[in-house]
Amino acid sequence: MKDNILITVALKIEFQEEIPDNCELIYTGVGKVNAAYNLTRKLESMNKLPSYILNYGTAGSKDLKIGEIVDCTRFIQHDMYLKEFGLNPGQTAFEFDQYEQNEPPVILNFKSENKNPIKKNYICASGDKFVTKFEDNFLDIEKTYNEKISVIDMEAYALAKVSYLYKIPFISFKYITDNLNSTGVSDWEQHVRHGANQFRELLTKI
């Protein structure tokens, strides 16, 4: 029996291709709130939870090439930045009080050998802003966790956290559309549609 796979994409402009019979596709909208809400709403409406959740979307990077599709299996919020409370970058305040003994880790770590043809296992930093500059919060994440932030988006962490709480395996494939510079928006607009075929080809290998 094939796995039942739920594919999440923020916008139709990013991906409107045909998908395999064992997959279902939802569009979540832009940003962490929309992503978390619409994924949760979808999971609550399903008679059976999916075997995997796959996210596809566009992302920016400071060192990866535009036009490259990469895999992300680790996720952090770059805009959860409460150092004034003595918290590490990405750490949510008072989360232990909410989840008691099951406090989610700051970096959500998923790894799927079966569903990941790329296997580079990048970390993706998500936040509700279009990033055009590698600011102090990114530098603090890299220093605190000894991680290199190569992929930056607006939804993956939220999707990963919902997946974590529902105990569903998760992986994100990101097509690099822009670098961290002043032309990032125009780069995204130019390249946003170009990764769809590459992701569709990845689905045939999963």
Distance in Å from the first CA to the final CA of the chain: 14
Domain count of the fold of the chain: 1
pLDDT of residue 181: 72
Evaluated on CA atoms 151, 37, 18, 16, the torsion sign reads negative
Q: What is the pLDDT of residues 44-67, one digit of tens each?
A: 999 999 999 999 999 999 899 999
Partners of 24 in beta bridges: 6
Chain centroid, CA 49 distance in Å? 19
Domain that holds residue 96: 5-203
* 3-class SS of residue 59: strand
Whichever domain contains 99, its CATH number is 3.40.50.1580
AA identity, residue 40:
T
How far apart, in whole angstroms, are the C-alpha atoms of residue 133 and residue 150?
13
Q: What is the pLDDT of residues 100-117, one digit of tens each?
A: 667 789 999 998 777 899
- Please give the backbone phi and psi of residue 58, each rounded to the nearest 5 degrees, phi first: -95, 160
